Amino acid sequence: MMPGAQIVNVVSFMPERVVDNTKLALDGEDDNELEKNAFFKGVKERRFASPEYQSSDLGSKALKLLLERTGTKPEALDLILCSCMFSDYFWPGIGPAIQNQVGASQATILNLDTSCSSYLSMLNTARAFIESGLYKTIAIVTVTNFVSRLPEFQKSKKSWVLGDGASATLLVDGKSSLVASYERSHGEHYGLFVFEPDMVDGRFLNYWERGCGPITVNFSPDMVTAIRSNAVELVPDAVSKCLFKAGLSTDDVSLLITHQPNTFLIKEWRDRIGIGEPRVHDTLEYYGNLFQSSIPVTLADAIEKNKVQSGDLLTFGTFSNGGDFVSSMVIRWT
């Protein structure tokens, strides 16, 4: 039998500190047009990780929980794939710290980043390694730990859809769970959505320059309009092409899980894809936008709530940044 990447389990580890959006007070007024935009609405509460947790702590907690639930010894791991926003240091990434903290002495690590699409990119990467025969047991870890580290940005309502959290997924050599995938880069949208230092004394300084401002996102109405236009087209198109590649229709899908950026995009994607309640699951309201942790945390939540059964066909869809990358995947839960 040819090697195949079988997903054994997916778990999440959420920081204990809850931020209740209904009790937050805004210092100053945001731009009225942006404040009313649905891009910044739909979240009742979220979790903050820092300073209680370093990013490596979050990843290690999630991975330890996964190993416990699956009865897997740390020494059995061959590879740990890791995606993180923000790492504990500018450089290096947190992969080696997680490997050491969980005692995965036989594992090598790979830090991977395609932003909000990173989880699906890592599933594809794990599949390639397992099918090649190079590795048999792979853990995928996502860590989102940044909005709690940006006190200046927290004063803006535009940050109130963002949360922190982590996930871990175990894949082994077995009956393949991955049915089809679709990934494309759209480099023409590079730089549309970025984290960068805020303005200081009327000018922008690069992050490597002395005296640069605090990290923020400098939203503008034109920027939001462009991101919305890209996202509403790219994700449904990717899901459609992925289902076609799998020889499936929307009627075959047991559960659709998309990225969780805001209520507007989630609804728009469902309407365009043609899958709605009860074949969807969200965590936006209580966890917020978790970037690369969004899909796996939502999947773990669906599993915990018994919305995923053996044999179910699950479909994922997400985009990255301002639309410079898009990804979709169909898996069969085994």
Q: Which of 151, 176, 201 is the last residue of a domain?
A: 176
Residue 74 host element (H or E): none
Provide the CATH number for the domain around residue 147. 3.40.47.10
Look at residue 25 and tell me whether its pLDDT is greater than 80: no
Q: Which of 176, 204, 226 is the last residue of a domain?
A: 176
Q: Which of 159, 176, 193 is the last residue of a domain?
A: 176
Residue-level pLDDT at 218? 85
Look at residue 168 and tell me whether its pLDDT is greater than 70: yes
Q: Are residues 22 and 169 in the same domain?
A: yes
Q: Are residues 231 and 254 in the same domain?
A: yes
Q: Are residues 230 and 297 in the same domain?
A: yes
Please check whether residue 305 is in contact with residue 283, taking contact to mean a CB–CB distance below 8 angstroms.
no
Q: What is the mean pLDDT of residues 116-142?
A: 98
- The predicted-structure confidence for 193-234, as pLDDT tens digits, reads as follows 999 999 999 899 999 999 999 998 888 889 999 999 999 999
Look at residue 324 and tell me whether its pLDDT is greater than 60: yes
DSSP β-ladder status, 165-173 and 137-144: antiparallel
Residue-level pLDDT at 219? 86
Q: How far apart are the first and last CA of the chain?
A: 17
Residue-level pLDDT at 11? 98
Q: Are residues 10 and 135 in the same domain?
A: yes
Q: Are residues 143 and 88 in the same domain?
A: yes
Q: What is the mean pLDDT of residues 273-277?
A: 97
pLDDT-derived band at 119, boundaries 50, 70, 90: very high
- The predicted-structure confidence for 301-322, as pLDDT tens digits, reads as follows 999 999 999 999 999 999 999 9
Structural domain that includes position 93: 5-176
Q: Are residues 203 and 281 in the same domain?
A: yes
Q: Are residues 197 and 154 in the same domain?
A: no
When mean pLDDT is compared across 37-46, 122-131, 282-291, the lowest value belongs to 37-46
Q: Are residues 139 and 254 in the same domain?
A: no
The pair of structure tokens assigned to 144 is 């989102």
Q: Please report, for residues 4, 8, 135, 175, 260, the alpha-carbon distance to residue 132 in angstroms, rounded to integers and kept in the order given.
A: 9, 19, 8, 14, 33
Residue 68 host element (H or E): helix 55-70
Q: Are residues 69 and 96 in the same domain?
A: yes
Q: What is the mean pLDDT of residues 276-299?
A: 98
Please give the tally of structural domains in the chain. Answer: 2
Q: Are residues 134 and 56 in the same domain?
A: yes
Q: Are residues 54 and 122 in the same domain?
A: yes
Residue-level pLDDT at 62? 98
Q: Are residues 239 and 304 in the same domain?
A: yes
Residue-level pLDDT at 3? 82
